[in-house]
Amino acid sequence: MSLFFKSPIDIEVRLDNEDSRQHVEVKNRKGRKEKLPLYEDGESVKGQVTIRLRNNNKLDHLGIKIQLIGTIETHSNSSSNNNASNSNNSNLTLNNNNDNFLYLLQELSAPATLNHPENYHFEFKNVEKQFESYRGLNVNLRYYLKCIVLRKNSSNIIREKELWVYNHQFPPDSPSSVKMDVGIEDCLHIEFEYSKSRYSLKDVIVGRIYFLLVRLKIKHMELSLIKRESIGTPPNQFSNSETLVRFEIMDGAPVRGEAIPIRLFLGGFDLTPTFRDVNKKFSVRTFLSLVLIDEDSRRYFKQSEIILYRE
Amino acid sequence: MLNDSLTIIKQQTLLMKKCLDSKGKLMDALKHASTFLSELRTSALTPKHYYELYIVIYDALEYLSNYLKENHPNNHLSDLYELVQYAGNIVPRLYLMITVGTVYMSILNAPIKEIMKDMIEMCRGVQHPIRGLFLRYYLSQKTKDLLPDKSKVSENTSLEDSTEFIITNFIEMNKLWVRLQHQGHSRERQKRTKERQELQILVGSNLVRLSQLDGIDKFYYKNVILPRILEQIIQCRDLIAQEYLLDVVIQVFPDEFHLFTLDMLLKATLNLIPQVSLKKISISLMDRLANFIHREDGKLKNKESQKENGNETKTEIETKTEIETITENQNQNQNQKEKEKEKEEKIDNNQVDATEKEKEKENQFDLFQKFYSYIQKLDELRPDLSIDDITALLEKLCKLSLTYYPKNYKNIDTLLLHTLKRLDEFKDTREASSPITEQNLKNILLIPVDFVSIFEVHEQKSINLDLLLNLKNYTKLLESQSPKVQSFISQQFLDKILDYKMQLQNEDIVNCIFNLLSSIVNSNLSRNKKSKKSSSTSNSLLFALINQEKVAKILHLIYNKDPIENSKLLLVASKYLSKGGSKIKYTYSSLIFNFLKIIRRKITKYEKRINDYKREIKNIFKGLTKYINELYSFGSLELALKLLISVSNISNEIMMNEFTNEFFIKIFSIYEELINSKQQYQIITELISVLILYYKNFYVESKNDYDKENYDNLITKTVLYSVKLLKKPDQCRAVYFASHLWFQPNDFSSKSSKEKERGKEKESDSVNTENGENTENGANVGSVGSASITNNKRVMECLQKSLRISDSCIESSVSIELFIEILNQCIYYYIHGNLISAKYINDLIELIKNNLENVDIDELPVNHFKRTLNYISRQKLIDERFELIRY
Amino acid sequence: MLILAIGDLHIPERAIDLPLKFKKLLTPGKIQQVLCLGNVISSITTLEFLKKISKDFQLVKGEYDIDNYNTGSSSVANNDQLRIGVLNGFNIVPQNDPLSLLIQARQMDCDILLWGGTHRVEAYTLDGKFFINPGSATGAYLTREIEDDDDYDDEDEDENDNDEDDEIDEERYKETQKNSKDGKNSAISNDKSKKDKTTFKESDSNSDIDSDSSESEFEDEDELIEPIPSFCLLDVQGSVCTLYIYTYIDDEVKVDKVTYRKE
């Protein structure tokens, strides 16, 4: 809306040490990359707002405040209940629902008239940032500073600045290996084993696949990482999946008794830690999918979830 | 297809190199590498074409390797090692991993062991046989010089890591290789077999690598390496793999190892699948061990040169995939091992060295026994084994045994017996007469011939007689063979004996050799010839004749310094020859002449005691008469006659006149059966010639009136035969030849005594003889008597007789020619004295002249006459007596 | 033109083979004509060997040749200006007698007479003719008494010379020793020079050794003396014949050379 009217002032929100602060590169909705300053849970958000007047006009305002908001934005598909993965379809009508789980406010200035540029310091101390920032297909979890200049007869002038938040977790105490038995009767029987079910994002998935029975003419085998984003709660849940990585781990057909090693470095991929029921709104989960492709290009797969966390 | 791929690879390689050459573009370079490596993902190429890709890519990656190595301080190899693993496709990923990993290994303080383990483990991901084999071959090639062994051990690594690494790779490659056989349509089996053979070298290269590791001793080999290799070979239950890999094992590892693990190796072969040719494997093992000794021997000599060669070959090896690589490696390996050993031992005295080793070998165990019990086990466990294979094995074992235990003939005899037994079991089967079995048996039977060269290098060569004489079962085995084989073997023996000019010096040897030759000597061969009449060409007849010629030659090789022994040996041989039936006509002459040689040896050597030997000689003469009778009974009249003449020459030489007489009586009786006039004439001529010679012993030397009487009878009879010849010219010539029987020149006395005075006496005698006409009866004892034989009357009678015969010839040119010949005889006598008067000659010349005038005659006699007259005129220049002759 | 004169091989009944060194000399291509003096037919292989030496192969029948091919007993080869007669020698009576040989040569009208049968190489001229006995190429055993040898003859030689020179035509003895007297070319080359003389003696006398005397001679000998292998090569150029005598003694091949010129 501000596009229609030229704003009489420039609002700049600057964070302390912003230049030296770590930034995270994130893709926005249009596919552009932007760099956002990174914060962690419990970290104070501190900075200053600078307001400059344009054309040397003075400005009367009814007060200036700054908010720190954590919100979950979902674009849910109202016309269809299916949780198909083709949610990128532009035909879908999206309902924007915002759900703020964090709202902090700080008054920067009482109503006054501004004759010259003014700086206002703000600080949200030790802010609990419960969730990690996330930009998904149909859901975003955002943290942003919102500076509002209240005006009398005209609309308020607002300036937002997005922050990025990482939530670090500690590694689980006892990584337990995952074993699974899969098969098609009389055709295939394999057993696979991953060293653990929880991985940090820089981790390596190490595992092994045992072929106990092979009657299929297998051409190759690959491992995929699939991210599934779900919104809402069953039965009104809405999910979609995205294959992030395809990784060939076997070429050719093994015989009974072969054991094929798995090793997949995760660090090089853009992965999201597992989010479960974030604010009862959405989940992001990652599945490891083992896919066998036979000579007739039929695919056989088995998925299993892995828990990713940020260390 | 191939060309497309090659084009892409070349392009991408170029791009990769460009990126590598410009700074900071390593990632892009890797991407290009990954792209060209993707070409190796193809399934569309045959192994050969795939190999072409591999070679090109190998070179490209080598470039990358070198780059990484040179720039490694700038790029953390461990990071790079992880980085390349993000490649989505496994084949390019692993090639890159290995490329980076091996560069990493070469860096100081690298976690070699871990990298090795990781690479070998990750390679499991490629289960496609051809791609997997090449990938693992790449791994093997790239790690070749980096694997820790005795010469390059670091803190954390050990030789074991390397052996483990290689063995694992070997096992996995073999599995892939075997699996290839079972893929695709069954109708393409043939093709796949071929493909697999093209790929076998990739698998085998692992064993080569293993053998190249420095520091493996025989204990480690026995306890760690071999069991695992054998286990894999046995487990894979694949024909090609089992045959090929066992052979590689045998070729690639040192002989000492094989000797040390022989039991294990042999036992393993029993667990192979039945289709495997155990023959091939055990033979290759036996060959290897047999050559070992030769190599050991040669080694001492070639020490120097080997050292040089060893280094050269080392650099060449590797990038080739030819089978030669393996053998080359093996040799090189061999050289290395040997060199080391030499260094360690540093024994200066080669001989001591050699003998010690030999002792060591003998002390270790009985190699023969091991193999023999193995063969016995085979008989038991593998009844399906063909006689072809069995005989091949037995042959090899014979040779092995002779190589290791040259003096242990019992071994060989055992094997021969075994062969006989097995042959018996296969009797009447078609197999038993297969060409292969036949060849194997030939080889076994030829062992005494073949094993000569090895033992007698500098000495006079001979057949391995010791061996031959000690093989009780040899003859049995030989006799069990087809006539064709038998005669082939005989042939070989025959040839070798002649080649070596090997003397047969005792009875055993003579018996033995003639037993061997029986198929040639005995008469059955000729029977065969007849039965095969249709096919038998003049060639086979010629061949048979040549064989007989050789047998005849062999008789000359029967020799013993003691004449009596020697004649015994000949007697032994004669018994074999007599079985030859009509073939004796090819061999008996030689036999008889050898007896005659002995008789002369006896005279020359023992002449003073000649009486002691007379009995023996009489026996020989009796024997010879018998042989000649046999020849006679086979219709060889002319031969019998010639031999009788030869024999009587010898009996005359040693003054056994009664024998000479006997022989002549025999000669006459056979002569009467001759029907060919030409032969008759020739025999008569010869009889006259020899009788002229016998005169001395019958007349001059003999104190016995019988002899003289006999001699008179003989010459009289001969003249009688002369006159009876069929053709007039023959009669005429024989008669004027016979005239010489009564004209014995006069110098016997001079020869009989050594005193010159006597000679002078005799001189006067001869003059007397010429002048006067003494009868032979008037001969005195001693030297004077010698002259008395000359009987002018008889000479004249003969000449007259021959003149009459020639005159009676119907053809005048023939008759004139004969006149001229007689004239020449007359001149002969005239030169020798006054036996013939000048008048007689003049008359004869006149006669010829008249005849020539009367008749129109061709040139030949005319010219002959002219030449004769010219001669007379020349004689006038030297001998005044010729002045009396006018024409 | 090179002519090989070879004979009295007696393979296989009296000898195993030609000396290897002879075989190596007698390779095909060098020799234009082979005149073989017989006693060779019983060995097919040897005959083949000889035939290979030259396409021009002439064979006369030897005393021991029993054949069905009707091989002639003598032949004459015309070479340039020389006529070469070939015979085995058994048809000369008395055998080996120079005068008889001369008669034969006259009959055959030849300038050179090759004869054999004695297994002893020799060569001499008589009455302007050249007589060559190439000996036995194998050194074959001889049943006629060859072994009355050197020693014996030496003595006799002198005797004979003395005896007969005066009485009988000198020409009979065209031996080396007499060359000077006769003024004719004579050459006798033998393995051992002594033997040359011997040859003649024998022929004159038809005689043999007194066994008593020879006994003692041979007592010390370990083995009987076998004839010495030999053959001859005749190089014929116009009316000149150069004779090369090859003998095989103690595993060595010796070559002697004699030249004959037809007058």
Confidence of residue B524 (pLDDT cuts 50, 70, 90): low
CB contact under 8 A, B88 and A259: no
Q: Which tens digits make up the pLDDT trace of B171-187?
A: 999 999 999 988 878 88
Please say whether the beta carbons of A262 and A274 come within 8 A.
no
Residue B5 has pLDDT above 60, yes or no: yes
Examine residue B274 and say whether the peptide bond preceding it is cis (omega within 30 degrees of 0): no
Q: Residue A252: which of B88, B89, B126 has the nearest Cβ?
A: B126
Confidence of residue A94 (pLDDT cuts 50, 70, 90): very low
Q: Which tens digits make up the pLDDT trace of B480-501?
A: 888 888 888 888 888 988 888 8
* Chain B contact set for C147 (CB, 8 A): 600, 604
What pLDDT, on the 0 to 100 scale, is given for residue B301?
Answer: 54
Which distant-in-sequence residues (6+ apart) come within 8 Å of B96 by Cβ?
B30, B33, B34, B37, B84, B87
Q: Which tens digits make up the pLDDT trace of C63-114?
A: 888 876 677 888 898 887 899 999 998 989 888 899 999 999 999 999 999 9
3-state SS track over B28-63: HHHHHHHHHHHHHHCCCCCHHHHHHHHHHHHHHHHH
- B723 phi and psi angles, rounded to 5 deg: -70, -25
Say how many CB pairs under 8 Å bridge B and C: 190
* Chain B contact set for A248 (CB, 8 A): 88-90, 93
Residue A199 pairs in a beta bridge with A308
Give dist(CA B742, CA B695) in Å, integer: 9
Residue B608 has pLDDT above 70, yes or no: no
Give dist(CA A37, CA A166) in Å, integer: 10
For B238-254, what is the mean pLDDT?
93
**Number of Cα atoms under 13 Å in the Cβ half of residue B344:** 6
Q: Which tens digits make up the pLDDT trace of C116-135?
A: 999 999 999 999 999 999 99
Q: Which tens digits make up the pLDDT trace of B346-356?
A: 444 444 445 55
CB contact under 8 A, B175 and A255: yes
- Work out the number of other CB atoms within 10 angstroms of the CB of residue B493: 24
Please say whether the beta carbons of B180 and B196 come within 8 A.
yes
DSSP 8-state secondary structure symbol assigned to residue B504: B
| Domain residue ranges in chain A | 9-166, 178-309
* Chain B contact set for A250 (CB, 8 A): 90, 125-127
For A260-278, what is the mean pLDDT?
92
Token look-up 């007479």 returns C113
Confidence of residue B537 (pLDDT cuts 50, 70, 90): low
* Chain B contact set for C90 (CB, 8 A): 682, 685-686, 689
Distances (CA, A) of B328 to A175, A255, B201, B338: 53, 35, 13, 15
- The enclosing domain of C72 has a CATH number of 3.60.21.10
> What CATH code would you report for A9-166?
2.60.40.640
* Chain B contact set for C109 (CB, 8 A): 863-864, 867
Give dist(CA B522, CA B584) in Å, integer: 10
Residue scoring higher pLDDT (A64 or C157): A64
Q: Is B703 helix (H, G, I), strand (E, B) or coil?
A: coil
Confidence of residue B299 (pLDDT cuts 50, 70, 90): low
Residue scoring higher pLDDT (A285 or B359): A285
Most confident by average pLDDT, A107-111, B68-72, B110-114, B730-734: B730-734
What pLDDT, on the 0 to 100 scale, is given for residue B339?
Answer: 52
Distances (CA, A) of A282 to A128, A138, A212, A229, B380: 19, 10, 39, 7, 77
Give dist(CA B250, CA B269) in Å, integer: 12
Q: Residue B600: which of C100, C160, C224 has the nearest Cβ?
A: C224
* Chain B contact set for A254 (CB, 8 A): 127
**Chain A residues with a Cβ under 8 Å from any Cβ in chain B:** 220, 246-255, 258-261, 263, 265, 268
Which chains neighbour B (Cβ–Cβ under 8 Å, 3 or more pairs)? A, C
DSSP 8-state secondary structure symbol assigned to residue C224: P
CB contact under 8 A, B82 and A265: yes
Confidence of residue B746 (pLDDT cuts 50, 70, 90): low
Has this prediction a pTM greater than 0.90?
no
Helices (H), ranges, B22-143: 26-38, 47-70, 77-83, 90-106, 112-122, 129-143
Please list, residue by residue across B691-700, b when 16 or more beta carbons sit within 10 angstroms of its beta carbon and e when fewer do: bbbbbbbbbb
Chains A and C are touching, with contact defined as 3 or more CB–CB pairs separated by less than 8 Å = no
What pLDDT, on the 0 to 100 scale, is given for residue B337?
Answer: 53
Give dist(CA B380, CA B382) in Å, integer: 6
Specify the amino acid at residue A299: R
* Chain C contact set for B654 (CB, 8 A): 211
The tokens for C80 are 């340039």
**Mean pLDDT of all residues belonging to chain A:** 86
Which distant-in-sequence residues (6+ apart) come within 8 Å of B506 by Cβ?
B560, B569
Q: Residue B747: which of C207, C215, C216 has the nearest Cβ?
A: C207
**Number of Cα atoms under 13 Å in the Cβ half of residue B798:** 28
For B427-437, what is the mean pLDDT?
80
Q: Residue C171: which of B552, B590, B878 has the nearest Cβ?
A: B878
* Tally of domains in chain C: 1
Substitution target from B95, B117, B124, B172 for chain A, most A beta carbons within 10 A? B124
- Whether A9-166 and A178-309 share one fold: the answer is yes
The closest of B630, B628, B658, B622 to B645, measured between CA atoms, is B628
Substitution target from B82, B120, B127, B136 for chain A, most A beta carbons within 10 A? B127
Give dist(CA C7, CA C133) in Å, integer: 9
CA distance C5 to chain B (A): 23
DSSP 8-state secondary structure symbol assigned to residue B700: I
Substitution target from A251, A256, A293, A297 for chain B, most B beta carbons within 10 A? A251
The tokens for A183 are 């098969």
Please say whether the beta carbons of B40 and B54 come within 8 A.
yes
Confidence of residue B602 (pLDDT cuts 50, 70, 90): low
The closest of C204, C201, C200 to C186, measured between CA atoms, is C200
The closest of C199, C210, C206 to C118, measured between CA atoms, is C199
Give dist(CA B1, CA B16) in Å, integer: 22
What pLDDT, on the 0 to 100 scale, is given for residue A154?
Answer: 80
Confidence of residue B844 (pLDDT cuts 50, 70, 90): very high
Residue C161 has pLDDT above 60, yes or no: no
* Chain B contact set for C172 (CB, 8 A): 831
The tokens for B510 are 């003579």
Q: Residue C61 sits in which domain range? A: 1-263
Residue B530 has pLDDT above 80, yes or no: no
Radius of gyration of chain B from Cα atoms? 45
Q: Is B21 helix (H, G, I), strand (E, B) or coil?
A: helix
* Chain A contact set for B172 (CB, 8 A): none
What pLDDT, on the 0 to 100 scale, is given for residue C24?
Answer: 93
Chains B and C are touching, with contact defined as 3 or more CB–CB pairs separated by less than 8 Å = yes
CB contact under 8 A, A249 and B128: no
* Chain C contact set for B686 (CB, 8 A): 63, 90
For A23-30, what is the mean pLDDT?
84
Give dist(CA C143, CA C146) in Å, integer: 8
Name the residue of chain C whose CA is nearest to B760's CA.
C163
Q: Is the dihedral of CA B543, B544, B547, B548 positive or negative?
A: negative
Residue scoring higher pLDDT (B417 or C184): B417
Q: Residue B126: which of A251, A255, A263 has the nearest Cβ?
A: A251
Tell me, yes or no, if B614 comes closer than 8 A to chain C by beta carbon: no
Q: Where are the beta strands (DSSP E) in chain C?
A: 2-6, 33-36, 56-59, 74-79, 82-87, 112-114, 121-126, 129-134, 230-237, 240-249, 252-261
Q: Which of these ranges, B73-87, B269-283, B784-798, has the smallest mean pLDDT?
A: B784-798
Please list, residue by residue across C133-155, b when 16 or more beta carbons sit within 10 angstroms of its beta carbon and e when fewer do: bbbbbbbbbbbbbbbbbbebbeb
CA distance B727 to chain C (A): 16
* Chain B contact set for C167 (CB, 8 A): 763, 766-767
Give dist(CA B395, CA B393) in Å, integer: 5
What pLDDT, on the 0 to 100 scale, is given for residue B532?
Answer: 44
* Edge-to-edge strand ranges of the sheet holding C240-249: C56-59, C33-36, C2-6, C230-237, C240-249, C252-261
What pLDDT, on the 0 to 100 scale, is given for residue B129?
Answer: 94
Please say whether the beta carbons of B690 and B649 come within 8 A.
yes
Q: Residue B693: which of C13, C162, C208 has the nearest Cβ?
A: C208
The tokens for B639 are 């031969």
Examine residue A235 and say whether the peptide bond preceding it is cis (omega within 30 degrees of 0): yes
What pLDDT, on the 0 to 100 scale, is given for residue C220?
Answer: 38
- B477 phi and psi angles, rounded to 5 deg: -65, -45
What pLDDT, on the 0 to 100 scale, is given for residue B611?
Answer: 66
Give dist(CA B394, CA B389) in Å, integer: 9
Give dist(CA C91, CA B449) in Å, integer: 46
What pLDDT, on the 0 to 100 scale, is given for residue B59?
Answer: 95
> What CATH code would you report for A178-309?
2.60.40.640
Q: Residue A252: which of B85, B122, B131 has the nearest Cβ?
A: B131
Please say whether the beta carbons of C203 and C98 come within 8 A.
yes
For B282-310, what is the mean pLDDT?
67
**Mean pLDDT of all residues belonging to chain B:** 82
Most confident by average pLDDT, B7-21, B445-459, C170-184: B7-21
Give dist(CA B376, CA B372) in Å, integer: 6
Please say whether the beta carbons of A143 and A284 come within 8 A.
no
What pLDDT, on the 0 to 100 scale, is given for residue B383?
Answer: 84
